[in-house]
Amino acid sequence: LNAAFLVSNPDTAVSEHSVDTALIALAERLADASGPVARHYFRTPLAIDDKSDDSPVTRADREAEAAIRRIIEAERPTDGILGEEHGAVRTDAEYVWVLDPIDGTRAFINGLPVFGTLIALTRHGAPILGVIDMPALGDRWTGACGHPTRFASAGNGAGQAHVRACATLAAARLCATTPDMFNRDDRPRFTRMTQAVRDTRYGTDCIAYGLLASGHTDLVVEAGMQPYDYLAQVPIIEGAGGTITDWQGKPLTLESKGDVVAAGDARVHREALAVLAAG
Amino acid sequence: LNAAFLVSNPDTAVSEHSVDTALIALAERLADASGPVARHYFRTPLAIDDKSDDSPVTRADREAEAAIRRIIEAERPTDGILGEEHGAVRTDAEYVWVLDPIDGTRAFINGLPVFGTLIALTRHGAPILGVIDMPALGDRWTGACGHPTRFASAGNGAGQAHVRACATLAAARLCATTPDMFNRDDRPRFTRMTQAVRDTRYGTDCIAYGLLASGHTDLVVEAGMQPYDYLAQVPIIEGAGGTITDWQGKPLTLESKGDVVAAGDARVHREALAVLAAG
């Protein structure tokens, strides 16, 4: 059951319902459509634009998102869409799709195959369905409210994803994309976190959340993220038995500030929140 | 032509000879032998040992190196071997194999498929042959003195690898495994480097050097490395048209301190050395 969904819909019976399997299948088809676009452009010479926020963006990014949006517009024309590349439409709709066609653009641009596609569906602002798809690796995690999280690996079949136990923060392995994602206020908190855990792996982007859902790592702490960077992860982590919130322990929604802490074991999550809360 | 080899053998005619293709084929067979071991253990639950240097090490690491050493012992019993896991034998031999069965152990342990196997052959201490093999990705770079560097990708054929041009350090993309690899003296130099380049990608381990050889990125700056962490890269980078030295611009050998700067474009390499040299 998706905690964020319950919090933002405390009085609706529908909150206890599972996400319709047709919606899950649609989300997977969206990833099926964007993956070939990403693979087509991966490791080819590209003219790289810099957007105003200085993040690198490629034709792959724009065309992959366009491929996803075409399907949503055709099949669910009243749903809203919020995408990193092509902006927002109908975001006051009950259902809003939140898209990051290439999460880890810097990985993509440097030829590292650990970039991913993030597809989230929110209802009343809370994430109820998410896909982390790794087009160059063939890995895919799919999570939905009321369903166990599913991991599929090209050539290696599919099955349920489960987090692993980890009793203490000191025993936990931490992942984060880069120390540069933390601002002046957040950086000392993150430094304390790296000192409190067993070890830290950088350069992980969205795959870290999938690996956490599958029990390969214990903790992800990030900051300064946009809704399309974190919403897909929520149903995936929760459906695998983990916990994912902002740094105050609150559910992640479309309105969150963009600070994320995800843990496989609730004990590690509690300890991590305490480290982040200290002044 | 391998500069490091020339420097350490200034008066021998053999320095101008190409590496025998039988040696190159043997190096590739060593990677063929270690890859399945790494893949077998990847993303499986493991008891993780911590060595005295606190780096995580797995059964995969030890068994992959053992698989490589068995072949060397059988086919070239007088060659020396220096491996991360099983130590050194006959390191005073003319030819010494230098092995890191799983470079990027932290990637491996967290389930990230960007770990690699590094196989180098030195002659009189200078690297003349190197393989970067990525068992979970199917990517492999092979470089040898007197031969163009070769890149092979499972399912996508093979061809020569070439660096790309990059006129200035300010335009260069930088890769490094982690900012934590730099000690108190090196850290400010590396920080200046991140401020001088276009952008920085962490978490790259050995694949960064292959991607540089293939023209997907421009610069790798690292420190505190062991010979098995950097020697394989030398023939690969040089055979692709790039430059790789220590932070003083000297050739990398078995005796180097372990500070590495690799660039696809010699102009970027010169600028990077200047940034690293400033007090």
Contact list, B56 vs chain A (CB under 8 Å):
199
Low-confidence stretches of chain A (pLDDT < 50) are 1-15, 51-56
Contact list, B110 vs chain A (CB under 8 Å):
173, 175, 201, 204, 208, 211, 216-217
H-run or E-run covering A93: none
For residue A264, the distance in angstroms to the closest alpha carbon of chain B comes to 13
What per-residue string of b and e applies to B110-124 under the rule 16 or more CB within 10 Å gives b? bbbbbbbbbbbbbbb
Distance CA(B60)–CA(B102), nearest Å, equals: 8
ipTM over 0.90: no
* pLDDT of B89: 96
Q: Helix axis angle, B21-41 relative to B59-75, nearest 10°?
A: 150
Residue of B nearest to A204 (CA): B203
Residues forming a β-bridge with B193: none
Given an 8 Å threshold on Cβ–Cβ distance, is A106 in contact with B211? Answer: no
Residue of A nearest to B204 (CA): A203
pLDDT digits (tens, 9 = 90+) for A190-202: 999 999 999 999 9
For residue B112, the distance in angstroms to the closest alpha carbon of chain A comes to 8
| A219 neighbors A197 (Cβ within 8 angstroms) | yes
- HEC profile for chain B? CCHHHHHHCCCCHHHHCCCCHHHHHHHHHHHHHHHHHHHHHCCCCCCCEECCCCCEECHHHHHHHHHHHHHHHHHCCCCEEEECCCEEECCCCCEEEEEEEEECHHHHHCCCCCCEEEEEEEECCEEEEEEEEECCCCEEEEEECCCCCEEEECCCCEEECCCCCCCCHHHCEEEECCHHHCCCCHHHHHHHHHHHCCEEEECCCCHHHHHHHCCCCCEEEECCCCHHHHCCHHHHHHHCCCEEECCCCCCCCCCCCCCEEEECCHHHHHHHHHHHHCC
pLDDT digits (tens, 9 = 90+) for B16-57: 579 999 999 999 999 999 999 999 889 887 555 554 343 445
Distance CA(A167)–CA(B43), nearest Å, equals: 20
* pLDDT of A46: 57
Coil, helix or strand for A3? Answer: helix
Q: What is the sign of the dihedral through the CA atoms of B102, B221, B175 and A214?
A: positive
Q: Give me chain B's average pLDDT, please.
A: 90
| A205 neighbors A114 (Cβ within 8 angstroms) | yes
Which of B201, B211, B215 shows the shortest C-beta gap to A203? Answer: B201
Low-confidence stretches of chain B (pLDDT < 50) are 1-15, 51-56
Count of A-B CB contacts under 8 Å = 86
pLDDT digits (tens, 9 = 90+) for B264-278: 999 999 999 999 998
> Of the candidates B34, B56, B240, which has an alpha carbon nearest to the alpha carbon of residue B133?
B34
* pLDDT of A12: 42
Distance CA(A175)–CA(B207), nearest Å, equals: 19
* pLDDT of A181: 86
Distance CA(B168)–CA(B132), nearest Å, equals: 27
| In chain A, residues 163-222 whose CB comes closer than 8 Å to chain B | 164, 173, 175, 177-180, 194, 199-204, 207-208, 211, 214-217
> Of the candidates A222, A205, A202, which has an alpha carbon nearest to the alpha carbon of residue A263?
A222
* pLDDT of B82: 97
Q: Does B36 touch chain A (CB under 8 A)?
A: no
For residue B114, the distance in angstroms to the closest alpha carbon of chain A comes to 8
Distance CA(A200)–CA(A182), nearest Å, equals: 15
Which of A111, A113, A215 shows the shortest C-beta gap to B217? Answer: A111
Which of A177, A194, A201 shows the shortest C-beta gap to B110? Answer: A201
Contact list, A137 vs chain B (CB under 8 Å):
113, 137
